[in-house]
Amino acid sequence: MNRDLLKVYFIMGTANAPRPLEVLKKALEAGITLFQFREKGEKALKGEAYQQFARDCQKLCQSYSVPFIVNDDVKLAVKLNADGVHIGQDDESITEARKRMKGKWLGLSVHNQEEVKQAVKGGADYVGIGPIYPTTSKDDAIKPIGTTLLKQVASHYPDLPIVAIGGISEKNAPEVLAAGADGVAVISVICQSQNIIQTVNSLRAGELSSKS
Choose the catalytic residue: 40, 55, 117, 138: 138
Cβ atoms of residues 151 and 125 within 8 Å? no
Choose the catalytic residue: 7, 38, 98, 104: 38
Check if 138 is active-site.
yes
Number of alpha carbons in the 13 Å side-chain half-sphere of residue 181: 35
3-state secondary structure of 68: strand
Strands (E), the chain: 8-12, 34-37, 68-71, 84-87, 105-110, 126-129, 162-165, 183-186
Check if 109 is active-site.
yes
Closest to 56 measured CA to CA, from 43, 40, 45: 45
Check if 19 is active-site.
no
Choose the catalytic residue: 26, 109, 137, 193: 109
60/21 Cα distance (integer angstroms):
8
Residues annotated as part of the active site: 38, 109, 138
